[in-house]
Structure 1
């Protein structure tokens, strides 16, 4: 598990100090990129409230839809029960879910009547606070500081980068670092594994950044036995004289393969592969610095030269490895020891193994960089593709920096101070310092980690190397490349975050001008410890939702007022009012003759305070009905006769318990709409009959107290809880005839 890169941890984003509040994520533009970052607790509350708000908005929006549909489908004509049930659902459903479910239920109950997500973008990109931003001032360090602080820190961050590269960049990645801080997990790269040797007349150019070109080198005619410090059994490699050893014609002197194998066989601690680095840096097109001076056929005026020498140090393989860098194809014998069943007597087994053919196999690489200003690469915006020094200096004029100032001032700090008023130049110089502090070239991982930077290291057990492909060297170079990409990512993130290690903090240089601070305060990372919310999404959600809520409360009374004021579509308004749950209940009780009701157009109708309403009539549990109140005005005994001349002397005892049950059910009848006076609409009632007095052929014509509202005999019987066949004549106490049978039954 990785530790800290600089001040934060790859797998622990919470260790980074994050800017809380409003900021702009420019990758999404100035409008959609407006972002609010809050901590996890506040973010959870915000998300919860937003979800609740959206639910309220949805219910109010459904209310508007129901209002529109109810009024659109409203009709003063007789319609079937399905129509009226649907209208009642539209009027009383509290949410789209309950309303749609009710509609589905009635569609199932009446099959003949039908034919067969926030714009709140939540993310985890946050802005580093940047108040502790600073880079390491290497020129100000003495030798002790380099050894005590700088080198351990560089080794630490390189190890972390190697772990990150293994988990993110490697083809065999496991995804352990799924919670990385980097906004872009992987940097795009172009890899050409079929490129020819870089030391021939070949030029490979890509749009900026770093071009690394590697190939194993032939050792024929360039290696020979030699002595070192008076000791033989050494091999010298000649690719150019070393600049570290006076009068040395060798690039590298190392123990020969025999000495390396003997050292391991004699019981020395297994050290694994050896990896030695030599390099030559090009300045102004000439190799002038480094650890060796390349021979003419290896020199490049447009690149830095790095050579990696791989030594076996006694590592063997069980099968020949024909990789041109490892070259483990010399057959040998290896004595493997193990303990017997008694655990005390060692058993020795001789196995055939293969050893490296070279004491140190060379791999040569060139390094080129190119810096462009802006996003378009052309001669007017880019420096040359060249060595690290020449590539950076060649880009200085594009950032309004005079290269001569580097010879005028003896330290980078003074140059940065000289350009402190130039934000563009100051940012670029800050960028150079960041790259200088991090081993973000291909040599960095090998220099800091040694053989542990090799991809083959993961399959090495003690002295035995596991199976490797014949192009293993390409995997090793790719691993170095991936580590450098991770280091580049870490360099800018950790510089913006600043160090928390007090030993490193004392050698930090803070950002001083606006250009440097803008670079520090505009660095994004990914953190699951915070929540970033799109302000555009929030504004859109809350503003639009608020308008919908307001409209849902205003639309209903507004339509009601307009329809009353101009007497238009008044039936729609009355049906909407009376389809409320309590008004529907009021209609049922009132039409059964119970209660003296008032507030018949309000949300809650009421009766007189001393009135009681009857419970359900459960004579038929499958068809519950409302009971009708007992009326003392009817005589206890009622004579009757059937229309077919049959007479019975049964006695009807008023309203008995449960009343009488009808023996017939009437289906497919049209349900009447509301009846109301155009001038007096205080109390809508259910309409019975056609409004004309007539005599039914099969039942008597019955009159209510309103002579203009005749009803059929069966309907009147329903009101009295009797069937039509039970009625002959009914006489009130006043003697007024209220029911007349057809002539045939008299």
Structure 2
């Protein structure tokens, strides 16, 4: 049996790479690491995605810059857009510049020329920002599933050699069932208080299809109702998705619980003995110390059950329901007499199910109101308690059960499948369900406790979870919990039961189903790992010896927030694609250079891309004005000769700064010339070539046209190109 179901972090976890078969061989490749390392990996991944975003934008800029490149004359918007594409390092920066470019030219008809690139930049920013934010999905998409490291792989031994062994195993089973009931109360109930960790199993709870208007599960009209009965079908439970068995082999299990209150009229008799009066229930025969008896159950009379509570000589004390379960199992469509607690009558016999008969006795519990529930059978007539019942409760009218015991019959069926839902055995009793599917697993009808299995026989491991010592059946659960198994216990205080709805028995059976499902969830965890505080308990455990079983034990999944699992596929995809994008971005320009130099491929596009860099644009501005002797004009970084000085920024017109010659070529002022005169007596000069003038600078003059040429000629570095004329701007 497993230990406390409420704490997931008590299990050692496998750290490293493993395959989560629920996600497939490729997508299921998973990396599990500690939380601290996981936080670093998530942060690094987000940083890497941000880096890739800049490199991807570089590729986009290169592609569109070359796409737009044309050797014909274009307007300023074209050249400015090309310059933005060449020099924007991030899409975010380009967005701002492109929209500002459109706004600055908002009155022109071609103002929307940069719009496409602005939208592409916005799309890139959005996509990569989202990718960075969602990078943690590489972990969260996988969830918190981890593999535990197996310890003492095996099951509790069901073979008893003496009473000590028997009671030792009973104590294990009692603890296990109590834990399953607590888990069902906390994690299956809609009004759970949440004191337990409900996120421990791979799935919090197993759902079921509930039909509360089902037919009678038995024949001969023995049910109290032909239609208002309960059928709970778990559907097909997946060994991977629901039990956490992380194996390439996939199994499915299904259980159906079909219950109905049973008629008592015609099936009871009274017997008086030295111990009192009893009601006998003739639903079959049972074996007593004196021999086989022709009844299945005997209940004390109502007077005997409530004698102590009605006695004026004793104070009232808490009453509690009596819940007694009898069962018989079916194998080869016949009752297994050696395991049967009663041999049923024909009306209660089914050859395709294991049957449990549950008797509910009032046993001193008073009801505060009548109820139409078909199992509790509360009388509609109040009991006169004025003279006999303790005064503490005399203000209340009280009601008693109509019969000493009320029977409820339940049929339990099982079905197993291998691989998919097209390869299933019969829906039958547990024994027949196992044997009917054995051929699909290439085995025989496996015993629960066969520890020596081959790798071709994983079904034995799977079916071991349904062993009576590994999970809780309905009879075992009722025998252990008794009245604590009833959902009605939440509205009982001392000996007084609160009002019951008409479907209370159905709520009880649903709780039973929840407890058994919770025990199944814990069963496989208990097979894989057992580390009881009292080490002596391990002597009652049968460890699996086959390599196949040990492999399965080391592939048991749970959920744990103490560790983080990553999708290896997601990590590899992110980093490989990111590195490819980065590599392409770094190789585009060298490849373009090689193609240009070797074959002259797209000469204009290549040269425009190169000359649109910030430093080349700077070269173009200074070189055209004759400032500096430049080289490497087709490279990313141009250079000048040593000692060359470039132009200075002339801000005499703050609204239109221009480049002016270097300081060393300016005409010095006369000593008696004031600063005011200096600012006013500035005459622009121009170089004229082929009839076109361009302003290339200013000299400090006395505004005399005759002195302009003289003073300008004192600028030795201005090229004396043939055909150029120097003069005042007005003369030119």
TM-score by length of 1: 0.76
1:238 maps to what in 2?
Answer: 282
- Deviation (angstroms), 1:399: 4.5
SS of equivalent residue, structure 1 residue 130: coil
SS of equivalent residue, structure 2 residue 86: helix
- Deviation (angstroms), 1:269: 4.2
- Deviation (angstroms), 1:63: 0.9
Distance 1:47 1:466 in 2: 55
**Does structure 1 retain, via aligned residues, the 8 Å contact 2:685–2:699?**
no
Distance 1:110 1:335 in 2: 98
SS of equivalent residue, structure 2 residue 467: helix
1:41-96 deviations in Å (ceiling 9; x for gaps): 33333333222222222221211111111222234444343333322322222222
1:426-456 deviations in Å (ceiling 9; x for gaps): 7426734752322432223322222222222
Q: 2:344 is matched with which residue: 266, 269, 294?
A: 294
2:593 maps to what in 1?
Answer: 560
- Deviation (angstroms), 1:556: 0.7
Distance 1:275 1:728 in 2: 127
1:355 matches 2:400? yes
**Does structure 2 retain, via aligned residues, the 8 Å contact 1:37–1:531?**
yes
- Structure 1 pair 614–209 and aligned structure 2 pair: CA distance change class (3 A): same
1:253 maps to what in 2?
Answer: 298
1:272 maps to what in 2?
Answer: 320
Distance 1:137 1:394 in 2: 25
- Structure 1 pair 396–568 and aligned structure 2 pair: CA distance change class (3 A): closer
**Does structure 2 retain, via aligned residues, the 8 Å contact 1:617–1:626?**
yes
Distance 1:728 1:360 in 2: 133
- Deviation (angstroms), 1:484: 1.4
Q: 2:212 is matched with which residue: 169, 181, 193?
A: 193
2:184 maps to what in 1?
Answer: 165
Q: 2:687 is matched with which residue: 691, 697, 703?
A: 703
2:118 maps to what in 1?
Answer: none
1:79-114 deviations in Å (ceiling 9; x for gaps): 343333322322222222333343334334443512
Structure 1 stretches lacking a partner, 5+ long = 337-345, 407-411, 638-649, 662-699
- Structure 1 pair 703–620 and aligned structure 2 pair: CA distance change class (3 A): closer
Report 1:35-434 matches (<5 A).
Answer: 35-111=30-106, 112=108, 113-114=111-112, 117=131, 120=138, 122-130=142-150, 132-140=152-160, 142-147=162-167, 149-172=168-191, 180-187=199-206, 189-200=208-219, 209-223=254-268, 226-227=271-272, 230-232=274-276, 234-246=278-290, 248-264=293-309, 266-267=314-315, 269-284=317-332, 285-286=334-335, 288=337, 289-332=339-382, 350-377=395-422, 382=425, 384-396=426-438, 399-401=441-443, 416-417=451-452, 420=453, 422-425=454-457, 427-428=459-460, 431-432=463-464
Q: 1:484 is matched with which residue: 516, 541, 552?
A: 516
1:206-247 deviations in Å (ceiling 9; x for gaps): 98633322101122243455456x332654433233324535
- Deviation (angstroms), 1:491: 1.0
SS of equivalent residue, structure 1 residue 26: coil
- Deviation (angstroms), 1:352: 2.5
**Does structure 2 retain, via aligned residues, the 8 Å contact 1:371–1:392?**
yes
- Structure 1 pair 728–107 and aligned structure 2 pair: CA distance change class (3 A): farther
**Does structure 2 retain, via aligned residues, the 8 Å contact 1:281–1:304?**
yes
Structure 2 stretches lacking a partner, 5+ long = 116-130, 237-252, 715-723
2:11 maps to what in 1?
Answer: 16
- Deviation (angstroms), 1:139: 0.7
Distance 2:53 2:729 in 1: 57
1:738 matches 2:723? no
**Does structure 2 retain, via aligned residues, the 8 Å contact 1:264–1:313?**
no
Q: How many residues align?
A: 657
Distance 2:631 2:280 in 1: 113
SS of equivalent residue, structure 1 residue 321: coil
